[in-house]
Amino acid sequence: MTNDDLRTRALRYHAEPVPGKIALEVTKPCETQEDLSLAYTPGVAAPVREIARDPQAAYRYTAKGNLVGVITDGSAVLGLGKVGALAGKPVMEGKGVLFKHFGRIDVFDIEVNAETIDEFVETVVRIADTFGGINLEDIAAPRCFEIERRLIERLDIPVFHDDQHGTAIIIAAGLLNALEIQGKRLEDVRIVCVGAGAAGIASMRLLLALGADPGKLLLVDSKGVIHTRREDLNVYKRDFAADTECETLADAVRDADVFIGVSGPDVLTAEMLRTMAPKPIVFALSNPDPEIRPEIALATRDDLVMATGRSDYPNQVNNVLGFPFIFRGALDVRARRINTEMHIAAVHALADLAREPVPLEVLEAYGLEALEFGPDYILPKPLDPRLIDVVPPAIARAAIDSGVARAPWPYGPTPRQQAGGAPAGAADAALRSALSD
């Protein structure tokens, strides 16, 4: 398919048969005069009074508990940059499609014209009562870090910047499995990350929380290695300034075990890859053009485990493995926030699922005869129906154990638990609990 063909099909897809990709639906009957009197006046006064007396009653009588705001300022939309809030709306609607399809979560997409951090934060704070959670999207670094921090401090619902933490969680899950395959341990390996924006910094923070050695981690931006001699670093990059003589990416990757790219195309050359340690791991996640193409990488090193951000290669690092199910679990226990403990729970749930036998329906969905844990399968497939039964309970349990949940464990025991196995969750119970006390 040519780019012109793709553009034409994409525009038609978004315009027909009605403009856009998401819509509202009515969940209660509205056929009789009595229905109308219950839906609006005078019956609606009853839940209004209940909520005025106890704000938590909004979770019982409104859609708040299953509603996420997907909010952007349009400053870093996909790979298109600062196109503006309104131009980001198709992406925010697309995020809504994924929330609904995979997590059974409703979404309002909100595009905010805000030049300053203060304006954006104040806008979100003033509308936050509408939602059970906030998903920040396509906000440029470094302002995204400050925006998220302020909103977490001021709001009592989960605030999650998916470009930071969603990407970090999927990278970490895939990396743990790649390390297992390569016979290495996270605390021992040398890691190089190219890209010091939202995804790069969040990913390195999460790997440190999982046990990576800070003395063996190098972060590289467009000007080279982030080291202690540089005087051009913002506060977020400064946290990763290394005491090293390395200046360039070529310096950094020599003898490195892991390369993580969240930057741009073709920055890792075959020559650089040859200098990496035995059994290297390369996550070249720039999309659509990775930091090194898999064909080049695999021709250069036959001892490699590789992932990309693309669906047409094995081991796609895809955020849809995370955010719908992370929010599902957080909403199901009315979490006040999504914390590091919940991030780590998501990492292990995803990593563990990839080690399980793959069901036939997944093979059929992807036209495969076989698929098993190994160099070409380190992460679950997005269409794996087990995700909603595995990840949300892990998130809910971490929220309860870390003290940020306001509702009790919402999932009944599954047949697997009753037989003495590990918790796997129950998607239908998850949906019911989102609107219950």
Residues forming the active site: 40, 95
* Terminal C-alpha separation, the chain: 50
CB-CB contact of 262 with 285 (8 Å): yes
CB-CB contact of 139 with 147 (8 Å): yes
Return d(Cα 286, Cα 266) in angstroms, integer: 9
Exposed e or buried b per residue across 394-415, where buried means at least 16 C-beta atoms within 10 angstroms of its C-beta? bbbbbbbeeebbebeebbeebe
CB-CB contact of 144 with 135 (8 Å): no
Element (DSSP H or E) covering residue 260:
strand 258-261
Q: How many CA atoms lie within 13 A of 276 on its CB side?
A: 29
- Whether the ω angle into residue 288 lies within 30 degrees of 0, i.e. cis, is yes
User: By C-alpha distance, which of 162, 221, 233 is closest to 192?
Assistant: 221
Q: Alpha carbon of 224 to those of 73, 195, 218, 331: distances in Å?
A: 29, 10, 10, 41
Return d(Cα 103, Cα 232) in angstroms, integer: 41
Copy the structure tokens of residue 356. 């399980």
Question: What is the DSSP secondary structure assignment for residue 86, as one 8-state letter?
Answer: G
Q: What does 292-353 look like in DSSP terms, one character per residue?
A: S-HHHHHHH-TT-EEEES-TTSSSB--GGGTHHHHHHHHHHTT-S---HHHHHHHHHHHHHH
- Whether the ω angle into residue 17 lies within 30 degrees of 0, i.e. cis, is yes
Return d(Cα 135, Cα 94) in angstroms, integer: 13
